Amino acid sequence: MPTSHYIDQIQNFIEGVNAGTYQRAQSDLKRLPVEIYTDQSRFDIEMEEVFSKSPIIIGHNSIVPRPGDHFVFDHLGQPLLVVRGKDDQVRVFYNICRHRGVRLVSEEGVTRKGSFVCPYHNWAYGLDGQLMNIPCVESFVNDDVNSRHLIEVSSAVAGGFIFANLQKDSQMDMGVFLGETKDDLEALGLSEQVFFKQTTRNVKANWKLIVEAFQDGYHVVRLHRNTVGSLFLDNVADIVRVQDHLRAVVARKGFETMCQTKSDQWDVRNQVSLAFYLFPNTIIVIHPDYISHLGLFPVSPDETICVHSCFLDEEPKTEKAKAHFERAFNMIDKGVFEAEDFFVCEQAQLGMRSGVNKSFPLSEHEIGIKMFHDILSDHLEK
Q: Catalog residues that contact ligand FES under the rule CB under 6 A.
A: 97, 99-100, 102, 118, 120-123
The Cα angle at residue 227 between residues 225 and 233, in degrees rounded to 5 = 55
How many CB atoms neighbour CB 251 within 10 A?
25
CB of 105 to ligand FES, least distance (A): 12
Which of residues 65 and 101 has its CB atom nearest to ligand FES in the complex? 101
Which of residues 137 and 321 has its CB atom nearest to ligand FES in the complex? 137
Please state, in angstroms and rounded to a whole number, the distance separating the CA atoms of residues 242 and 177.
Answer: 10
* Residue from 311, 341, 348, 375 binding Fe ion (CB under 5 A): 341
Which of residues 148 and 224 has its CB atom nearest to ligand FES in the complex? 148
DSSP per-residue codes, 237-257? EEEEEETTEEEEEEEETTHHH
Choose the stretch contacting Fe ion; rule: CB under 5 A; options: 126-134, 197-205, 237-245, 341-349.
341-349
- Chosen from ligand FES, Fe ion, none, partner binding at 341 (C-beta under 5 to 8 Å by type): Fe ion
- Chosen from Fe ion, ligand FES, none, partner binding at 212 (C-beta under 5 to 8 Å by type): none
Which of residues 120 and 140 has its CB atom nearest to ligand FES in the complex? 120
CB of 103 to ligand FES, least distance (A): 9
CB of 171 to Fe ion, least distance (A): 35
Backbone angles phi, psi at 180, to 5 degrees: -60, -25
Which of residues 93 and 177 has its CB atom nearest to ligand FES in the complex? 93
Please state, in angstroms and rounded to a whole number, the distance separating the CA atoms of residues 111 and 287.
Answer: 29
173-180: long-range pairs with CB below 8 Å, 24+? 174/55, 177/55, 177/243, 178/243, 178/245, 178/278, 179/242, 179/243, 179/245, 180/4, 180/5, 180/242, 180/243, 180/247
- Chosen from ligand FES, Fe ion, none, partner binding at 121 (C-beta under 5 to 8 Å by type): ligand FES
CB of 135 to ligand FES, least distance (A): 8
- Chosen from ligand FES, Fe ion, none, partner binding at 216 (C-beta under 5 to 8 Å by type): none
What SS3 class is residue 296?
strand
Choose the stretch contacting Fe ion; rule: CB under 5 A; options: 126-134, 310-318, 333-341, 358-366.
333-341
CB of 150 to ligand FES, least distance (A): 11
CB of 99 to ligand FES, least distance (A): 3
CB of 224 to Fe ion, least distance (A): 6
Burial level of 230, CB count in 10 A (0-12/13-18/19+)? Answer: exposed
The residue of the chain with the least Cβ separation from Fe ion equals: 341
Q: Which letter, b or e, does each residue of 300-331 get, where b requires 16 or more Cβ atoms within 10 Å of its Cβ?
A: ebbbbbbbbbbbbeeebeeeeeeeebeebbee
Please state, in angstroms and rounded to a whole number, the distance separating the CA atoms of residues 378 and 166.
Answer: 20
Binding site for Fe ion (CB under 5 A): 341
